[in-house]
Each structure stands twice: as structure tokens, then as C-alpha cells.
């Protein structure tokens, strides 16, 4: 499968391109009744509910209702945003920590040079 945005080859099972972080669209298709009976995945009914081809038998052998379906929403920070935050943090560290330390060492060095020139 190719990413619609960057055109790179990506795996079928992923929903976000690992290269450009484009949200990939999954193709849907209407199944015939015969195809639906042998389909091994999750189907979407006309009313919007989902059904699965998994067995709904309970552990004790009685026929039971299907297990509840959970919708999981994942939120992730893409690597581009993370890298930007790391760069900004590095710049702030340079500005607030290393620059004052450099100024202190430069001032001490200037005083030492001044004193050496006075007495030598």
C-alpha cells in the first residue's frame, strides 16, 4: 500500500504513515451475503453497529451474548513534534545555563588578564 501524501510504501495494517504522519484511509467494500458469512473480520452494519465473526459461546458452553466492543482512541505525539520540543529545550538550556556560565568565566579571565598586565 502506498501513502496518499508522500507516496512511500507502507504496511497494510497501519493507520498513520511512519514517514510523513499522514492519516491513511482504509478502503471499505460491500460484501455479498456469501462473502459476509465467510469473512473473518469485523463488519459494520447499516445502523453503524459492528459485529465480529468470533464465537460468542461462553466458557461453560452456553450460548451467550457477544462480548462488549470497546473503542480505543490512541493519542500519540509524532516524532516531528517531539524533535521540535527537544531542539527548543536545547536552545533554552544553552541560553539560560551555558551562556551565563560563559559570561562568568569570561569576566574572571578578563580580571586575571587585567591584573597580570598591571603587575608584569
Distances (CA, A) of 56 to 53, 65, 101: 9, 6, 68
Q: Euclidean distance between the first and final Cα of the chain, in Å?
A: 77
For residue range 44-72, what is the model confidence (pLDDT) as tens digits? 666 656 665 544 444 444 444 455 565 66
Which region holds residue 36: left if phi is over 0, alpha if psi is between -120 and 50, else beta?
Answer: alpha
92-118: per-residue pLDDT in tens? Answer: 988 888 888 889 999 999 999 999 998
The pTM for the full model equals 0.27
What does the block give as the cell for 79? Answer: 516524532
- The CA R_g of the chain, rounded to the nearest whole Å, is 31
Amino acid at each position: 500500500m502506498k501513502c496518499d501524501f508522500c507516496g512511500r510504501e507502507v504496511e497494510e495494517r497501519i493507520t498513520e504513515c511512519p514517514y510523513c504522519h499522514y492519516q491513511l484511509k482504509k478502503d471499505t467494500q460491500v460484501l455479498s451475503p456469501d462473502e459476509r458469512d465467510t469473512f473473518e473480520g469485523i463488519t459494520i452494519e447499516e445502523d453503524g453497529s459492528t459485529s465480529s465473526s468470533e464465537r460468542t459461546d461462553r466458557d461453560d458452553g452456553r450460548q451467550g451474548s457477544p462480548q462488549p466492543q470497546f473503542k480505543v482512541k490512541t493519542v500519540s505525539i509524532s516524532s516531528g513534534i517531539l524533535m521540535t520540543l527537544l531542539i527548543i529545550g536545547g536552545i533554552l538550556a544553552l541560553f539560560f545555563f551555558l551562556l551565563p556560565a560563559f559570561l562568568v568565566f569570561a569576566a574572571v579571565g578578563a580580571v586575571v588578564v587585567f591584573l597580570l598586565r598591571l603587575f608584569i
